[in-house]
Structure 1
Amino acid sequence: MFTGIIQAVGKVAAVQAGNADARLLIDAADLDLSDVAPGDSIACNGVCLTVVALDAASFSVDVSAETFRCTVGFPEHSLVNLEKALRLADRLGGHLVSGHVDGVGEVLRFDPVGDCFELLIRAPGELAKFIVTKGSVTVNGVSLTVNRVDGDRFSINLIPHTLEHTNLHALQPASPVNLEVDMMARYAERILNYRDQT
């Protein structure tokens, strides 16, 4: 479990491809790995991955074909938002994030508005119903508040701090992004649908 509050931005230093899977080496020099051990989880661009090896400045993870299928993937040399798993004593500054990406959205617009930027994203149709005005959504692992919703499109205001401390500053129109909707919305839909089917 995560919060969507990014702790560092790393880089995919190497991709060792298998048949359909891959092992990634993540350069994480800006992330404190002193309390991380093999078997721990680190969210990389919102994807919960298991550490299989590490040293003081990097760690390795295995990525399955299924993960590649439902995310934007991990191109070599790409920047990735990093967050270590939530501990029970930690502050919950964002919202509860599972690290299980629901789908890939598309950036439609990324425009300056004063000192901030407005990010407009198109969500896959099956996810759009879970995104609500003033609700939470995770974009590339970053917990964000939805400003407006129009059908399958939603907008977010990005403050300078977010742009400085995540990889979202590199987005541009047509960029794909990992999306995870608020899990509470998913539970609510399941409860309502189950009740209607009984």
Structure 2
Amino acid sequence: MFTGIVEELGEVVRVTETGDDSALVAVRGPLVVSDARHGDSIAVNGVCLTVVEVDGEVFTADVMGETLRRSALGALRPGDRVNLERAAALGSRLGGHLVQGHVDGVGELLDREPAEKWETVRFRLPAGLARYVVEKGSITVDGVSLTVAAVGDDWFAVGLIPTTLALTTLGVRRPGDPVNLEVDVLAKYVERLLGDRLTGGAR
């Protein structure tokens, strides 16, 4: 479990296809590897990955085919910057919202509207996810916990403060770039529970 508060910007060192619909990704992140061990979880652009090896400031993780298909990790190349966050510890502050690191779909940055002290950024929503996104609700974009400022049938907008622009990849994303999206898991649970009540059945 994560909170969507990015700890550092990492750098992809290498991406190695393993030949069985999966890949091995090596990422440099001095902070997140400072106490990382084999089997630990680290979110990379919002995707929960399991550490298989730590070598100095670099950790390596396996990425299976399902993850490559359902996220934008398959487009990563050496030199790309990525948002990194270690799994939340019990008793730590919940600065963002409950984030599982299980990407629901890949969105697309549509446009950016700079203002004096912040920036409004609009993203396209994949079909089927719009029902989980509400104004003033939470959404995770490339691992960053954000508050929805506006929402349409197939898009949503967020406001990015200077800290987010400077310390995450969202500050350099351009129109057309893919982003990993995770909707609020509570919305999905509510839908499941209400669905059972409305249909009068139990699943």
> Which of 82, 89, 94 is the matching residue for 2:91?
89
| Contact residue 111 and residue 121 of structure 2 kept, 8 A | yes
Q: Which amino acid letter does the alignment assign opposite residue 17 of structure 1? A: E
Whole-Å Cα distance in 1 between the matches of residues 33 and 136 of structure 2?
34
Aligned to 1:54: 54
Instruction: State the SS of the aligned residue for 1:53.
Output: strand
Q: What is the CA-CA distance between 1:35 and the residue it aligns to? A: 2.0
Q: Please point out which of 147, 168, 180 is paired with 1:178.
A: 180
Which residue in the other structure is 1:189 paired with? 191
1:88-137: per-residue Cα shift (whole Å, max 9, x none)?
12100000000000000111111202221111011012001100000000
Match of 1:26 in 2: 27
The TM-score normalised by the length of structure 2 is 0.94
Q: 2:37 matched to 1:3?
A: no
> 8 Å contact 1:110–1:171 — kept in the other structure?
no
Structure 1 segment 1-198 matched on structure 2, within 5 A: 1-19=1-19, 20-29=21-30, 31-73=31-73, 74-197=76-199, 198=201
Amino acid at match of 2:50: T
Q: Aligned partners of 2:32 and 2:187: how far apart in 1?
A: 33
Q: How far off its partner does 1:32 sit?
A: 4.2
For 2:35 and 2:108, locate their aligned partners in 1 and report how far apart those are by CA, in whole Å: 35
State the 1:47 CA deviation: 0.2
TM-score (norm 1): 0.96
- SS of the equivalent of 2:132 reads coil
One-letter amino acid matched to 2:92: D
For structure 1, the 5+ residue unaligned runs are none
Q: Is the 8 A contact 2:124 2:155 kept in 1?
A: yes
Range with bigger deviation, 136-145 or 160-169: 160-169
- Give distance in 1, aligned partners of 2:161 and 2:70: 28
Cα distance in 1 between the residues matched to 2:103 and 2:78: 20
- Return the offset for 1:195: 1.7
How far, CA to CA, are the matches of 2:61 and 2:41 in structure 1?
9
CA distance, structure 2, for counterparts of residue 110 and residue 154 of structure 1: 12
What is the CA distance between 1:17 and its match in structure 2? 0.8
Partner Cα distance (2:18, 2:165) in 1: 34
- The whole-number CA distance in structure 1 between the counterparts of 2:32 and 2:61 is 17
State the shift of 1:170 in Å. Answer: 1.3
Deviation for aligned residue 1:18: 1.1
Give the aligned CA root-mean-square deviation in angstroms.
Answer: 1.0
**Structure 2: distance between partners of 1:17 and 1:64:** 10
- Consecutive unaligned residues of structure 2, counting only runs of 5 or more, are none
Paired residues, what number? 197
> d(CA) in 2 for partners of 1:71 and 1:32?
21
Q: Percent identity?
A: 48
| Cα displacement string for residues 1-58 of structure 1 (whole angstroms, at most 9, x for unaligned residues) | 00000000101100111121111110113x2423211000000000000000003311
Q: Which amino acid aligns with 2:182?
A: E
